[in-house]
Structure 1
């Protein structure tokens, strides 16, 4: 890990003592605040902008819980601690490097924690985040036909799969034996139809050009392969790429507070991923926070507080989301009583795969990243509503807003 601390020292431009810190207020940029629009009705309008913000990080790392946070605290020289109201009561501290160019926050696990913490962070008057690049970096389950333990995945799409009706298996198998799942998209009467009702958080599309840059940079590093025991467990799957050492993969992440596992649900959610993105996305990782986080960024983008095009979602694979063939008839034992052993190298590979992007941003800030033009998105970015502009390249022409 010492190499990362070396880079952090090189990047730092000032030697400021650890907290408590007294820093001068940054110069107010003309035009940062917006005028109140004229109104002839009784609607109240808020003006947005942070002319007195102190901190302007170039990169913000977002972890979800302690184990994901700690590799970054070990790898980088975070010397400043900042506490904000509204962060997780467990993870109430933001860590920043000497010159505040890199900061790290831990959101808390699950959709509610992620949305609450990131809302507090992005609305904080202390931070100007208009040019900040975001690395949402966490571990996840993995689809063995796409990844193996320790693999580093970079997503273009995040799909929220928990927003559905659900009927218990015992109550539909006799009447609807052809169903592959008891999940039914909202506003439909079967598992195979695009939702008729949507909340707006079902699908988010990210900047593919920036994703590809992060993926390219990560592909040049050596990932942690894990232990012999990890390799033995991978070999139980008998399929590529599960049996191979970890690699860097461009594929897509599912969000659900429901921690699912097994062949039936994986098959269903893989099909749902294709359905929700009109065949564009490929499910490879499953997590609990990303759609919630991206909803926050979508809302803040509308008022100029963040740049949605500057987000990278990294998930490293800590476990397989379906059992190997030898345990196909005992998913419960696979899930509850099997040492899958992938968390160690998945945590190490958060830094291994994520740091090259961070280093690239800081090293090439003025010439490449500050303006955002070099990696300006060519694809649609945003949610299913087109909230931040443009027309989504997934979904339907119309649906009810639930």
Structure 2
């Protein structure tokens, strides 16, 4: 009898990954063998963003997961597996591949897990400063555009801000005519606001004397000030960019892509890629997109002060380094992480108190609802 019971168990285990209806076969999303159900996952992009979390928290458990970055193959978890940290690698391809690998790993049930994307970024001086903390509602992928060299467009279109034009258009002020689906993501504003509320109580690092001196080179009040927490939006591009022209253009593009409501204040290389992976995982119940937060702390300004040109600033700036931004990842991010764990049963487990009141998701409405950005119809590229 024991032999046949084992056979039946094995048959069930092998059968469960497949759901079949007529000639349509689909992988099951059931996780019968899941061992870990973290309450929070902190997502870092590279070691400098990872290390403050490993230093601040006790992560005795190390789990190697196939498909993560070959540079960062290990997930770190606390003693109860309530809080875990993963480093996904820099750039859009690394981010998408790593988040997908994590979400599909059968050891984890992430259906109720909260995710905090916690990275450093360049910052717009109109909204933030060195060491500043930003929490986004929108993430805008700015690299999906036509691109022309300056020499090829400036005589014909002297009014253009840079050589970018949205797909399916012939000018810079028209919403894209065709889309890939990853151009804009909107996350849970209610949860974002809770994270900001808690982060505002933190005693943020103000950085060093060089940071303070460099801030004073800017005319903007936000740039001159000590770091604080801001609600504003992130743009994603694999290209590092700097200078007034590109920042002006991407600021305009952010407003265009979000139908006038988004305000670009921080730069990233990964966020839209990570959010696309979460969108696909959410569609099958593997994660809850409503539980995703995007935090970026500012390591440098995305444009030079009036006394410097973009090239000199980018290669020879003297702003004092990125330590304040690294310190503030944990100082600003840990409050929401601990709040989730400490109030899990009463507040966060069912996801109701801080559920979204705004639309959340991509430009296609993949996971339900109607986007409050975009237009009525697109060509899908």
Distance 2:63 2:248 in 1: 43
Quote the offset at 1:325 in angstroms: 0.5
Instruction: Provide the residue aligned with 1:378 in structure 2.
Output: 357
Asked if the contact 2:46/2:89 (under 8 Å) is kept, the reply is yes
Instruction: Provide the residue aligned with 1:397 in structure 2.
Output: 376
Structure 2's unaligned 5+ residue stretches are 1-15
Asked if the contact 1:214/1:356 (under 8 Å) is kept, the reply is yes
Distance 2:115 2:303 in 1: 30
Distance 1:55 1:46 in 2: 21
Distance 1:312 1:386 in 2: 19
Per-residue CA distance 1:108-154 (angstroms, 9 max, x = gap): 00000000111110000000001100010000000001100101100
Trace 1:339-358 onto structure 2 (pairs within 5 A): 339-358=318-337
Q: Is 1:270 the counterpart of 2:230 in the alignment?
A: no
The aligned length equals 366
Structure 1's unaligned 5+ residue stretches are 1-32
Q: Is 1:84 the counterpart of 2:65 in the alignment?
A: yes
Give the secondary-structure state (helix, strand or coil) at the position aligned to 2:62. strand
Asked if the contact 1:79/1:96 (under 8 Å) is kept, the reply is yes
Quote the offset at 1:336 in angstroms: 0.8
Asked if the contact 1:317/1:342 (under 8 Å) is kept, the reply is no
Distance 1:312 1:45 in 2: 30
Distance 1:131 1:158 in 2: 22
Instruction: Provide the residue aligned with 2:141 in structure 1.
Output: 160
CA RMSD of aligned residues (A): 1.1
Asked if the contact 2:37/2:109 (under 8 Å) is kept, the reply is yes
Q: Is 1:332 the counterpart of 2:332 in the alignment?
A: no
> What TM-score does the superposition give when structure 1 sets the normalisation length?
0.90
Trace 1:241-320 onto structure 2 (pairs within 5 A): 241-320=222-301
Asked if the contact 2:210/2:318 (under 8 Å) is kept, the reply is no
Asked if the contact 1:49/1:304 (under 8 Å) is kept, the reply is no
Give the secondary-structure state (helix, strand or coil) at the position aligned to 1:100. coil
Asked if the contact 1:319/1:340 (under 8 Å) is kept, the reply is yes
Instruction: Provide the residue aligned with 2:151 in structure 1.
Output: 170
Distance 1:302 1:342 in 2: 41
Asked if the contact 1:181/1:191 (under 8 Å) is kept, the reply is no
Quote the offset at 1:312 in angstroms: 0.8
Distance 2:177 2:260 in 1: 18
Quote the offset at 1:159 in angstroms: 0.4
Distance 1:34 1:382 in 2: 27
Instruction: Provide the residue aligned with 2:6 in structure 1.
Output: none
Asked if the contact 1:155/1:253 (under 8 Å) is kept, the reply is yes
Distance 1:37 1:354 in 2: 43
Q: Is 1:61 the counterpart of 2:42 in the alignment?
A: yes
Instruction: Provide the residue aligned with 2:9 in structure 1.
Output: none
Asked if the contact 1:150/1:342 (under 8 Å) is kept, the reply is no
Trace 1:195-234 onto structure 2 (pairs within 5 A): 195-234=176-215
Quote the offset at 1:323 in angstroms: 0.3
Distance 1:370 1:46 in 2: 27
Asked if the contact 1:149/1:342 (under 8 Å) is kept, the reply is no
Instruction: Provide the residue aligned with 1:36 in structure 2.
Output: 19
- Match of residue 239, structure 1, among 220, 244, 263: 220
Give the secondary-structure state (helix, strand or coil) at the position aligned to 2:25. coil
Give 4+ residue runs of structure 1 displaced > 6 Å after superposition: none
